[in-house]
């Protein structure tokens, strides 16, 4: 199931909330910019990793990080993420904060925080009892190296927690001198930078996103996060993909939990089955053989030779009934696991005992039904993460930028954003307010997010082969295909078959037009000979001397 997500590239399309042409161009630029960032991050594979973790343990996380001149995506381990244990919502929408942990040596700490010598000494001190403890319910035993606290003596590493949290705070919204809608937590900035003086701003209730880095009782850093992703909600850079949670405890769980019992029974019965296949039971008279110990060793051998006394009974049983019973019950556990997981062999392409096409289709439909909820949650998380990435990109990429993307056909396309429009004098053009006019200006754009799924660029050819193979196997006539049908199926224009069918289709159109023209001329001749009016056609000129009799 995760493998199919690797083959699918989800293109996040951003639609402007304004019908103006300039807003449409800016939204198209944001769409292409996010696609460029996703391609650079190999986003399809990372989302597949996240959904694999969500399906197994019920919870996965997607993290966006501004790094130098780009924005990176990462899927941290579900065991390394610290979240609010009091938030019981399925989407973690009421969390006071969330973060993740990492282990660092003393030298790495000095490299990250060269001016924090006292804090590093306190964090690496074995006499600091605060660092020997770890808050229960916030982290797992893996984070604390089996309960050793924030400092592990064996590896001499310190656990740092990078934690995002939000605090209620009023913010101010104003129209800047550049004509952009700007939010800020500072009233003085709103009064000074507002295009309209004397109260040209509004006051709103919201949240400020802050970040701190600590290790136990030692605080390394605490600051206002430079990228406020949502002034109203205080959105975090960490986006959860949560499959299911218990109502009373909030513990996340995935699709594997319902299959645990069947899997354990399956494993136990397989062990018993192997034992039954190698075990033998002997039923014999007490005087059937001279040495019972030698009888036991010979029975255990695959090529044993046994001599018994005449007139006595000796029977060796191979437990065939128990073996058959266990084999028949194993299939029941397999069916239960497939039903709970929604991953039937037919969906995975494996050979099964389903002989009819209806049975295969029903099992495939069972997969789609069981996996409907995880797929919906995946799309919801993708939409939320794309919105956060776009808002971060608006703040980070505020100057001219040139990048190259690849469309669904695999061909490179170059895009330019925030580029000043140059006048005939070689200088940037300015609007009536004196601001530089920019082409595809993504700053300050308000948008809605929709998702478009298409084959990933790296798997376009493989996906096209698979689709064509299924069509031919189902009896489709390749000669009857049209370019529009192939494009709808996701086959790129660069594909050899697409070009071949497109050329043949054009030839068919030209032949049809020539035939139609000849038919119109024949109709005109017949109409002329019969003395009927001519509609939509010009008849050829009559030969001199009239029409021959045989033609009449």
Helix runs in 116-168, H state only: 117-123
Residue 479, C-beta contacts closer than 8 angstroms, at least 6 positions apart: 504
| No. of helices (H) and no. of strands (E), the chain | 15, 20
Q: If we measure between CA atoms, which residue out of 63, 95, 98 comes closest to residue 233? A: 95
Q: If we measure between CA atoms, which residue out of 467, 465, 487, 462 comes closest to residue 408? A: 487
pLDDT at 516: 83
User: Residue 230 and residue 227: Cα distance in Å, rounded?
Assistant: 9
Find where tokens 């399925």 sit: 90
Q: What are residue 314's DSSP bridge partners?
A: 284
Where is 520: in which H helix or E strand?
helix 496-529
**What single string gives the DSSP state of each residue in 328-374?**
HHHHHHHHHHHHHHT--HHHHT---S--SHHHHHHHHHHHHHHTHHH
pLDDT at 528: 72
Pairing verdict, β 218-224 and 201-215: antiparallel
Structure tokens at 23: 């807003």
Angle at 347 between CA 345 and CA 352, to 5 degrees: 30
pLDDT at 537: 52
Answer yes or no: are the C-beta atoms of 336 and 262 closer than 8 Å: yes
Structure tokens at 91: 């989407």
pLDDT at 284: 80
User: Residue 529 and residue 523: Cα distance in Å, rounded?
Assistant: 10
Answer yes or no: are the C-beta atoms of 103 and 157 closer than 8 Å: yes
Find where tokens 């794309």 sit: 386
pLDDT at 213: 93
Distances (CA, A) of 191 to 173, 180, 188, 202, 226: 10, 15, 5, 10, 21
pLDDT at 489: 62
pLDDT (tens place) for every residue of the chain, 552 residues total: 566 666 666 778 888 888 888 888 888 888 889 888 988 888 888 888 888 888 888 899 999 999 888 999 999 988 888 888 888 888 888 899 999 888 888 899 999 898 888 888 888 775 554 454 444 434 444 444 445 577 777 778 888 889 999 999 999 998 887 778 888 999 888 888 887 776 678 899 999 999 999 887 888 999 999 999 999 999 999 999 998 888 888 888 888 888 888 889 999 989 888 888 777 777 887 777 777 777 777 777 777 777 777 778 877 777 777 888 888 888 888 888 777 777 766 555 555 555 555 555 655 565 666 677 788 888 888 889 999 999 999 889 888 888 888 765 567 788 888 888 887 787 888 777 677 788 888 887 888 888 776 655 555 555 566 666 666 666 666 666 777 776 666 666 666 666 777 777 667 777 778 888 888 878 877 777 776 665 555 555 555 555 555 444
Residue 316, C-beta contacts closer than 8 angstroms, at least 6 positions apart: 280, 281, 282, 299
> How many C-beta neighbours within 10 Å does residue 430 have?
13
First and final C-alpha spacing in the chain: 73
Q: If we measure between CA atoms, which residue out of 357, 387, 495, 527 comes closest to residue 448? A: 387
């Amino acid at each position: 199931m995760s493998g199919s997500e690797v083959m699918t590239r989800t293109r996040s399309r951003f639609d402007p909330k304004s019908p103006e042409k300039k807003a449409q161009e800016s939204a198209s630029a944001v769409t292409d910019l996010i696609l460029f960032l996703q391609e650079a991050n190999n986003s399809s594979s990372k989302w597949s990793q996240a959904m694999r973790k969500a399906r197994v343990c019920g919870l996965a996380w997607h993290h966006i990080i501004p790094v130098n001149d780009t924005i990176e995506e990462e899927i941290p381990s579900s065991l390394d993420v610290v979240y609010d244990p009091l938030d019981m919502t399925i989407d973690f929408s009421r969390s006071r904060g969330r973060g993740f942990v990492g282990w660092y040596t003393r030298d790495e700490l000095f490299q990250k925080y060269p001016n924090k010598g006292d804090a590093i000494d306190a964090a690496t001190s074995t006499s600091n009892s605060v660092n020997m403890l770890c808050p229960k319910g916030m982290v797992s035993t893996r984070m604390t190296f089996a309960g050793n606290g924030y400092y592990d003596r064996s590896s001499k590493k310190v656990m740092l927690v990078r934690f995002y949290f939000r605090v209620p705070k009023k913010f101010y919204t104003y129209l800047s001198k550049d004509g952009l809608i700007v939010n800020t937590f500072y009233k003085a900035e709103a009064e000074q930078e507002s295009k309209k003086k004397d109260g040209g701003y509004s006051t709103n209730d919201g949240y400020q996103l802050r970040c701190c880095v600590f290790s136990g009782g030692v605080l390394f850093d605490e600051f206002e996060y430079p990228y406020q992703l949502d002034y109203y909600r205080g959105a975090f850079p960490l986006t959860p993909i949560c499959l299911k949670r218990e109502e009373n405890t909030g513990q996340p769980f995935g699709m594997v939990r319902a299959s645990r019992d069947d899997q354990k029974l399956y494993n136990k019965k397989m062990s018993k089955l192997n034992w039954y296949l190698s075990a033998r039971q002997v039923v014999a008279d007490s005087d059937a053989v001279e040495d019972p110990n030698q009888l036991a060793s010979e029975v255990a051998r695959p090529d044993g030779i046994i001599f018994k006394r005449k007139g006595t009974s000796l029977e060796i049983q191979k437990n065939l009934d128990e073996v058959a019973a266990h084999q028949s019950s194993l299939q029941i556990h397999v069916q239960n696991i497939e039903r709970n997981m929604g991953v039937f062999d037919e969906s995975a392409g494996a050979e099964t005992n389903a002989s009819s096409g209806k049975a295969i289709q029903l099992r495939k439909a069972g997969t789609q039904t069981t996996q409907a909820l995880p797929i919906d949650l995946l799309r919801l998380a993708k939409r939320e993460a794309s919105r956060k990435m776009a808002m971060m990109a608006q703040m980070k990429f505020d100057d001219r930028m040139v990048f190259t993307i690849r469309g669904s056909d695999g061909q490179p396309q170059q895009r330019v954003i925030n580029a000043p429009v140059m006048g005939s004098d070689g200088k940037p053009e300015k609007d009536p307010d004196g601001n530089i006019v920019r082409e595809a200006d993504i700053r300050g754009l308000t948008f809605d997010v929709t998702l478009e799924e298409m084959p990933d660029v790296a798997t376009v050819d493989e996906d096209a082969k698979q689709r064509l193979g299924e069509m031919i196997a189902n009896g489709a006539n390749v000669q009857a295909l049209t370019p529009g049908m192939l494009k709808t199926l996701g086959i790129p224009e660069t594909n050899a078959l697409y070009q071949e069918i497109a050329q043949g289709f054009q030839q068919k159109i030209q032949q049809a037009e020539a035939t139609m023209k000849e038919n119109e001329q024949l109709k005109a001749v017949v109409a002329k000979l019969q003395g009927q009016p001519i509609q939509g056609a010009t008849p050829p000129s009559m030969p001199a001397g009239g029409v021959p009799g045989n033609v009449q």
